[in-house]
Amino acid sequence: MDSHMYTEEDLINSLVIDKEGYVCGYIRNFNVESDKIIINIYDVNSKDVEVVAEEEFIQKLMSLFSKDGMFQKNVNIESLHQKIREKLGLSSTESVTLEHLISYANSVNIKIPMQIQNIREEIEKYPVVWSSIDKIAFTDLGKCVLLKESIEAEKRGIILREKVEYKSTRDLAGKIVLDSEARKIGSVTKFLFGNSPGIMVALEKKIEREVRPDIESLRKLLIPSRFKDEKELIAQVKKDLKIGNLNDYGARAILIWAKKNNIDVQNKPKEQIEALEEIPVDWSEIGKIGDVVILKQTVDKLKENKSQILNSV
């Protein structure tokens, strides 16, 4: 590894990959001891779960109540909550939760709209020492730390082989590709057939495309210049919007409140990964294939090789 020095913030959440190309996890933090530096690693388990589409659900209840003539004036959150309290026999001061809304909907056979939500759970993994790091690289696709050892492969009981065995498109497509300096450069799109087979690599870049309201910037704008703290901001939002429990409506309540008060809300770009070009890579230039593909060449050399091939045609 080179002699470059980093801050802890530089490296936190970096992807950690062992020498065989298997993902160990991500850097959480460091412990500096008298004779070594310990890197603490975590991994993320994600799963799709079906949850209530809260905003759509609330709008549906408001619409149904309005059609039934239960309201004499425009429907708002507080008037909806008051009707739910009456229907469920709750006290006038009790906060109405999402569970209360679901209970009412079930009691009158109202179909509850659902949506799929991805739930991420962080899991602590094993520590590694700083001296086990081979390379550290940064690109706009992310931070990567490549280890000198095959620690993850060994923990999974994977049989290690010197020769990189052929794998089909089905096994390769979508795998992250690192160049020889551990830089994330893109992903594999397909296996290439020939006397000397290979893979097609899509060189990718992170591009800002969509925009969405930046709730964090809004909070920083309002606190502490307008409100002493988050608690004071929430109290004002609940009062103005007549909301019993802000937790049932999340950040969108603060956004609605800001719009009603003519407060500009900045938009935050949403990053997307796009393929810039595809480059064929000879199988002999693949160093390792695990969870990711590690190449024997730098991305600059790959581009140079492609240019030479095109010029020779």
Tally of CA atoms within 13 A in the half-sphere of 34 that contains its CB: 0
Question: Region 104-108: what's the mean pLDDT?
Answer: 90
User: What gap in Å lies between CA 242 and CA 289, rounded to an integer?
Assistant: 57
- % of residues, the chain, pLDDT over 70: 91
pLDDT > 50? residue 44: yes
Model confidence at 72, pLDDT cuts 50, 70, 90, reads very low
User: What gap in Å lies between CA 123 and CA 250, rounded to an integer?
Assistant: 26
Q: Domain coordinates of the chain in residue numbers?
A: 54-112, 215-265
Closest C-alpha to 298, from 180, 188, 203: 180
Question: Region 228-244: what's the mean pLDDT?
Answer: 79
Rounded to two decimals, the pTM is 0.67
DSSP helix/strand/coil, 7: coil
Q: Which residues of 109-136 are buried (b: 16+ CB within 10 A; e: fewer)?
A: eeeeeeeeeeeeeeeebeebeeeebebb
List the single range of 90-104, 269-283, 298-312 with lowest mean pLDDT: 298-312
At a CB cut-off of 8 Å and minimum separation 6, what does 102 contact? 52, 112
pLDDT for 259 equals 84
- Render pLDDT for 252-303 as a digit per residue (tens, 0 to 9): 788 888 888 888 887 777 778 888 899 999 999 999 999 999 999 998 888 8
Helix H, strand E, coil C: the string for 73-130 is CCCCHHHHHHHHHHHHCCCCCCCCCHHHHHHHHHHCCCCCCEEEEEEEEEEEEEEEEH
- Render pLDDT for 165-210 as a digit per residue (tens, 0 to 9): 999 999 999 999 999 999 999 999 999 999 989 999 999 998 877 6
Asked if 193 and 280 count as a contact pair (C-beta separation under 8 A), the reply is: no
Better pLDDT: 215 or 158: 158
Strand partners, 127: 40
Asked if 153 and 160 count as a contact pair (C-beta separation under 8 A), the reply is: yes
What's the distance, CA 175 to chain centroid?
17
pLDDT > 80? residue 308: no
